[in-house]
Amino acid sequence: MDRIAVISDIHGNWPACEAVLEDIASRGISRVFCLGDLIGKGPSPCEVLDAIRQHCEVVVRGNWDELVSITDDLNFSWQAERLGAERVQYLAQLPFHYDFRMSGRRIRLVHASPQSVYHRVQPWDEPAKRLAMFDPLAEESGKVPFAPEVVGYGDVHNAFIQHFQGKTLFNVGSVGNPLDITQASYCILEGQWGEEQLTPFSIQFVRVPYDIELAVKQAEEADVPSLAYYIRELRTGIYRGIQDLD
């Protein structure tokens, strides 16, 4: 059986990134795929990006990865200044998706949805919106679509798995900015790589405790933009868009 670790949304949180990479290595897993948002929010974009380039076989583009090169908003320009031109260019050129077969399943990995890196789909959204995660990509227009039976993504920082109409949708959660449980999250896919016939296949969810207060200290020392919101998200898992700070 082949095993692939799938990570996402590290968001410049080096203590969380390091803990997850160490956990993956401790399990003897050598193949790692990343679903984007390497940078943003956290204070260590360079350390995280360089580690992902070193350890990940596949990396797809997230919304923060794209926006860091096209907007002057302080949240992004702060990151771009630290990353430098070469790293920013690397992020901008990342692919939108990755398709493969495993244990007879067609599997598609994207950051947010097949529509866009900005099109957000939550586990509680209406069924039609969640089923649209299996829609063809725009680039497949006029071609025979890949028609995935399993779709994995990141973006919303809520780990979950759902089955409907013979399809499986799963979210790997967030390594560096989880918004469900305040522990780093990732998934392990286990099956036979490239196999056309149905064989056993599994998706395992893993939670990894990490030093949250170290991540807070690093963010404070770096004086990251939106610091108070970022610290609350790390400590509580409450998204900054849910309610204002007192």
**For the chain, what is the mean pLDDT?**
95
Q: What is the pLDDT averaged over residues 43-71?
A: 97
Pair 198, 16: CB distance under 8 Å: no
Q: What is the pLDDT averaged over residues 190-208?
A: 98
Pair 148, 104: CB distance under 8 Å: no
Structure tokens at 219: 């963010």
Among residues 46, 174, 60, the alpha carbon closest in space to that of 117 is found at: 60
pLDDT at 96: 97
Q: What is the pLDDT averaged over residues 221-231?
A: 96
pLDDT at 242: 54
Q: What is the pLDDT averaged over residues 31-59?
A: 98
For the cut 50, the answer to whether the pLDDT of residue 123 exceeds it is yes
pLDDT in tens, 132-173: 999 999 888 888 899 999 999 999 999 999 999 999 999 999
For the cut 50, the answer to whether the pLDDT of residue 41 exceeds it is yes
% of the chain beyond a pLDDT of 90 = 93
Q: What is the pLDDT averaged over residues 82-89?
A: 97
pLDDT at 245: 41
% of the chain beyond a pLDDT of 70 = 98
For the cut 50, the answer to whether the pLDDT of residue 84 exceeds it is yes
